Amino acid sequence: MIEGAQALVLDFGGVISKSLFETHQQSEEALGLPPGTLGWRGPFDPNTDPLWRAMQAGEISERDYWYRRAHETGRLVGEDWTTLPEFLQRVRGDDPVLVIRPEALAAIGAAKVAGRKLAILSNELDLFYGADFRQRLPFLTDFDVVVDATYTQILKPDPRAYRIVTSALGLEPAACVFVDDQFKNVCGALSVGMKAIQFDVRRPAESYAEALRLLGLSAQMEDQHGGA
């Protein structure tokens, strides 16, 4: 009998993939911009980013935040980016594997080996990355369910978003561990009865360790890493 929760439900951007705040150096190099041009740091330094603070306060949506960042970054190189995939491709190139967190791949692998189900619940997966990028991420075939508000049009923290994914998994909310980097989305998951943690983009290893603990896998992970 499996002990602990039975499914790991992950947000994508910031949780599985590194946030754009972490890859400014690569973005500046890709765009031919001087180092330090991209000064907005989001959760790494909210004082540098009043737009981020406005998003955290609920004054603008997460989508609005990134559309505005895309528009202003495009202007720096004399381009007009009207879609988020244009933005992502220009700042990150053609290989999305390069910005996938190794900690995410380790946790996904551990959950799968232990027989837990895997799901993604994202507000902007294909809207942000483009519909064809999934074919370039082989590990996505390990997921049992992908729920993307690009198509459902039901954004977290709407309770219906979480119920869509738990229904697709065939599990009660209490059997699922949800991980998201946005506090409001974590609160939404808790409100429907899921176990949930807020992912700290500054401490990805610790965040995934906590998620695995809630899945009942902490002992197994310690055994695999020699009792770390």
Per-residue pLDDT reduced to its tens digit, 96-125:
888 999 999 999 999 999 999 999 999 988
Task: Note the pLDDT of residue 100.
Answer: 95
Q: Over 90: is that where the pLDDT of 228 sits? A: no
CB atoms within 10 A of CB 35: 9
Q: Which of 35-49, 56-70, 206-220 has the lowest mean pLDDT?
A: 206-220
Residue 60's pLDDT band, with cuts at 50, 70 and 90, is: very high
Q: Pick 17 or 2 by higher pLDDT.
A: 17
What is the C-alpha end-to-end distance of the chain, expressed in Å? 26
Q: Over 80: is that where the pLDDT of 225 sits? A: no
Task: Note the pLDDT of residue 224.
Answer: 46
Residue 50: is the preceding peptide bond cis (ω within 30°)? no
Q: Given the structure tokens 């202007």, which residue do they identify?
A: 75
Supply 19's token pair: 């946030």
Mean pLDDT of 175-184: 96
| Sign of the torsion angle spanned by Cα atoms 10, 18, 207, 112 | positive
Q: Over 80: is that where the pLDDT of 226 sits? A: no
For the stretch 182-199, pLDDT in tens is 999 999 999 999 999 999
Q: Which of 9-23, 89-103, 190-204, 213-227 has the lowest mean pLDDT?
A: 213-227
For the stretch 82-97, pLDDT in tens is 988 899 889 988 788 8
Mean pLDDT of 134-153: 92
For the chain, what is the mean pLDDT? Answer: 91
